[in-house]
Amino acid sequence: MKPKPISEQMKTLNKHELEMLESVENDEWISNYNVLDQFEKRKRELALAAHNSIVQHKLNNNNNNNNDVDINININRKELNLIEELALEEGLSYEKWILNSIYRSIRYAR
């Protein structure tokens, strides 16, 4: 089916559409390809960073002979302060104290 001529299509536009068309024809709209380029560049950078992070994590775990795996956790500052106090009482770093607590919990669960 052949499209209708532009003159006929123009008759079907409402007031808002006609105002937009006039605005475009008066060069009031500016394409901003620079923003899109920056977005795509940043997207590629983040994808590469994510890929490198995964590769590095796998390399670290493969080079670790005792099968230890690093983990990250988020913890409330108030709770971390309490853990640090408990660890200090036992003469341990808070990281070692947390690890010992996990081991104790595992032994208790069995």
Query: Which of 50, 100, 95 lies closest to 75 in space, CA to CA?
Result: 95
Can you tell me the distance from the alpha carbon of 35 to that of 42, in angstroms, rounded to the nearest whole number? 11
Q: What is the mean pLDDT of each run of 10 residues along the chain (110 residues)?
A: 81 89 83 78 88 78 68 92 92 90 88
User: What is the spatial distance between Cα 29 and Cα 21, in angstroms, rounded to a whole number?
Assistant: 10
Give the domain ranges of the chain: 76-110
Closest-CA residue to 22 (of 34, 12, 13, 9): 13
Residue 67's identity, in one-letter code, is N
Q: What is the pLDDT of residue 66?
A: 66
pLDDT at 61: 67
